[in-house]
Amino acid sequence: MDSITIIGIVSIIVAGVTMAIGSIAPALAEGRAVARALKSIAQQPDESDILSRILFVGLAMIESIAIYCFVISIILIFVNPFWDHFKSLGG
């Protein structure tokens, strides 16, 4: 196997692991945040507007982690900077 094939295989594996870890952790965090927000709204219904606004900002921040992992995976699969480096070394 040449170095380009190895880089391709490793890139696909790393992209898959990145998406697996990068989507599981935010999903758990979002579920926990929503559960706590619903519990807080149930205890204090008058503050539901403020709590829901804060919840949506927090969910957007949590979701950005998954989006960053997705972008890294796409870069590793389609625009891998290591391929050009190994092509230039190979000749």
CATH at residue 13: 1.20.20.10
Q: Is the pLDDT of residue 3 over 80?
A: no
What average pLDDT score do residues 52-80 get?
90
Q: Is the pLDDT of residue 90 over 70?
A: no
Q: Mean pLDDT score of the chain, rounded to an integer?
A: 88
Does the model's pTM come out above 0.85? no
**36 in a structural domain:** yes
CA 39, 43, 44, 45 torsion: positive or negative?
Answer: positive
Instruction: Kindly report the backbone phi and psi dihedral angles of residue 81, in degrees, each rounded to the nearest multiple of 5, phi listed first.
Output: -70, -15
Domain count, the chain: 1
Confidence class of residue 13 from pLDDT cuts 50, 70 and 90?
A: very high
Cβ 55 vs Cβ 29: under 8 Å: no
Q: What is the pLDDT of residue 39?
A: 95
**28 in a structural domain:** yes
Domain of 59?
8-81
Q: Would you give the DSSP letter of residue 47?
A: G
Q: Is the pLDDT of residue 91 over 60?
A: no
